[in-house]
Amino acid sequence: MTQALSLQLLKHVRDRGFTQKQIAEHVGMDPKTVRRWEKGETRCPTMLEASLRNLLLQAAPLGGGTQAQDGFSFIDLFAGIGGIRMGFESHGGHCAFTSEWNDFSKKTYLENFGDRHPFVGDIVPFPLEDVPDHDVLLGGFPCQPFSIAGVSKKNSLGRPHGFECTTQGTLFFNVAQIIAAKRPKAFLLENVKNLVSHDKGNTFKVIQETLRDELGYDVHYKVIDGAHFTPQHRERIIIVGFREKTGFSWDNLQLPAEGPRLASILHKTDGSEPVLPHDADRFFNHEKRIVQPKYTLTPKLWDYLQAYAEKHRAAGNGFGFGMAYPDSVTRTLSARYHKDGSEILVYQGKSKRPRRLTPRECARLMGFPDEFRIPVSDTQAYRQFGNSVVMPVIREVARLMVPSIQALIAHERDGTPLTLPLFT
């Protein structure tokens, strides 16, 4: 999205009657920042397009309010580069607080979102009382191993138990602490598919018991493959919970029966590749209409990967590189992709060495729009996208959650019964 389009959207929102303060609170900024955008003194972040468009879809304010109608607030924990945030912003959410410990991820996050709300690194030592109130807690939390072993013994000895015992020392414990202290109306947690089977199911059992029995939330979970939305098999578990029963169900989750293929995210060599000012020719040479040569594997690396694959084939193992073709759905992009790219090698012809995906293609493979800026090195970009979420999956789950979130907001605000509006 160009700066001109950003300002045009901002003007349309202002014409609808929203004040600078209302816009600022909706997108998590300071009113002075919005004022500077309108004056052209600073750049309006490209990733606010979804939030600005959402305001255009909402009822015009009647005046005196601090937030556009039907908006909701969320906090973004273990935020990475903001994939979960983007999914919820596209349905009217505004971010009130962010936590991400990695400095490189923080750089990418701030480049795209330009936040002025509290942004902290490590959430572990951060005081609970300083976490702002919010409607929804979001978190792609890292799952450090823990077990329920020993709980019965502690019960018999009269020692403390519950989530403070069974999850102490894990990052999930910090999520549970915030939920217990702030009682958000809803939460979404994302993790790897194997969370369900880790430690013979004990890990996930503790998580469910903590959220459902200890904290009292109505919990639902589902494993979703990102291949419904992008050409990549990437199964992740999504855990959602609501402070009260709302009638939420996965039944209306809309997953395309057949997703796109690799060709849809590859750089176009027919002259139709978009020129992105923030990329310039970093990944793609527009004059020559070719992917930059540095992404093609060196002869030495290609020989090594072929020999490695042959060695394991001879031993009856399935280890080896993954060759991807235009009509392919790829393997899961990992954070180690920067090392040799072996899990997703792009076929370039029978007599040619394959290549890695470029960071821009990795962004597309994760469902990020081309407006998303990549201000870090290729190595860091590969790590960031390999650790991220398939954004359209989160966007679809957010769509499904929002009616329940709004029902809880209305119930708390004016006692409206917890009946959901019809899904669309």
pLDDT band at 419 (very low <50, low <70, confident <90, very high): low
Active site residue: 44, 143, 165, 362, which one?
A: 143
Q: Are residues 370 and 277 in the same domain?
A: yes
Cβ atoms of 331 and 322 closer than 8 Å: yes
Between 58 and 94, name the one with better pLDDT.
Answer: 94
Radius of gyration of the chain (CA): 23
pLDDT of residue 424: 45
Q: Which two tokens stand for residue 134?
A: 């919010």
- On whether both 105 and 239 belong to a single domain, the answer is yes
Q: Single out the residue in 19, 41, 69 at which a domain terminates.
A: 69
Mean pLDDT score across all residues of the chain: 85
Residues 6+ apart with CB under 8 A from 301: 340
Residues 297 and 375 in one domain: yes
- Calpha distance 382→210 (Å, rounded): 34
Q: Mean per-residue pLDDT for 324-335?
A: 95
**End-of-domain residue from the set 69, 95, 111:** 69
Say whether 309 sits in a helix, a strand or coil: helix
Q: Using one digit for the tens of pLDDT, what is the confidence trace for 378-399?
A: 999 999 999 999 999 999 999 9
Q: What tens digit of pLDDT does each residue of 353-384 get?
A: 999 999 999 999 999 999 999 999 999 999 99
**422 assigned to some structural domain:** no
Our answer to whether residue 362 is catalytic in this structure is no
Higher-confidence position of 4 and 424: 4
- pLDDT per residue over 64-109, tens digit each? 333 334 589 999 999 999 999 999 999 999 999 999 999 999 999 9
pLDDT of residue 321: 87
Domain of residue 199 covers 72-258+391-414
pLDDT above 90: percentage of residues in the chain: 61
Q: How far is the C-alpha of 359 from the C-alpha of 195, rounded, in Å?
A: 28
Lowest-pLDDT choice from 10-24, 109-123, 149-163, 263-277 = 149-163
Is the pLDDT assigned to residue 167 strictly greater than 70? Answer: no
pLDDT of residue 58: 59
